[in-house]
Amino acid sequence: MSSPGRVALVTGASRGIGRSIAIELAARGYRVAINYQSRESAAEEALRIIRDSGGTAIAVRADVSDQNQVGELVERTERELGRVEILVNNAGITRDNLLMRMKDSEWDDVIRTNLNSVYYCTQAVIRGMMKARFGRIVAMSSVSGLIGNAGQVNYAAAKAGIIGLIRSVARELGGRGVTANVIAPGYIDTDMTSVLSDDVKSGILPRIPVGRYGRPEDIASAAAFLVSDEAAYITGQVLAVDGGMTM
């Protein structure tokens, strides 16, 4: 798949799925901005992996739930790498609780980080994409956004919201060479899922037809395809990468 030195911004790329996407895109010749919130050493490690294998990348600290910081993130990426042609909205958090016990702060944190961030980041890059008549936008939803999940009303609402947002973007920008798609990962082995109890994990495994948990690389290869030039005729889609969990 071709990637003539295109510039890709991946949010939440210091760890887990985002890190894997950043490394995969860099290996395919994209110039990558690795965004992170607080774990500088993890971001530096991802940066080192990319540079050691001859890729081009920068690491940029920014809280994507803050519109001003998103402005600075895009401004720095464009100053150091060039216009953002690929945006992967990946940053996300969980604050799980049953609805009965959910605190307003848990609701707000998840909506701001997982949904508002997609609005801020996407809005910040589309002008350049429209001008260039090329752009690729991908956002990370979740099986929870498709089928719901007990204990995750906040997370599922944000992840379902992403689908409506991205499909609307796909309709608004389809005529300008900009595609917008969603990936809905199933259970992927990362820090986010490492906090789940063994009981919960072993309850999930029998629901995965492929018979194993997902790896960040499973998501990275799907993302790499969706942002490629070859995926020009795919827009507004939700691609479940979940080992068959939600089929």
- List CB contacts of 159: < 8 A, sequence separation 6 or more: 114, 141, 142, 144, 145, 146, 184
CB of 16 to ligand NDP, least distance (A): 2
Pick between residue 65 and residue 154 the one whose CB is nearest to ligand NDP. 65
CB of 210 to ligand NDP, least distance (A): 14
Residues that bind ligand NDP (CB under 6 A): 11-18, 35-39, 42, 63-65, 90-93, 113, 140, 142, 185, 187-188, 190-193
Catalytic residues: 155
Residue 150's alpha-carbon distances to 11, 88, 106, 244, 247, in angstroms, are 27, 27, 15, 20, 19
User: 221: which 2 tokens?
Assistant: 């290869």
CB of 149 to ligand NDP, least distance (A): 10
Report whether 120 contacts 70 (CB < 8 A).
yes
Pick between residue 39 and residue 207 the one whose CB is nearest to ligand NDP. 39
Pick between residue 90 and residue 122 the one whose CB is nearest to ligand NDP. 90
Which residues partner with 214 through β-bridges?
188
Pick between residue 91 and residue 173 the one whose CB is nearest to ligand NDP. 91
CB of 19 to ligand NDP, least distance (A): 7
Q: Which helix (H) or strand (E) holds 76?
A: helix 67-80
Q: Rounded distance, CA 156 to CA 153, Å?
A: 5
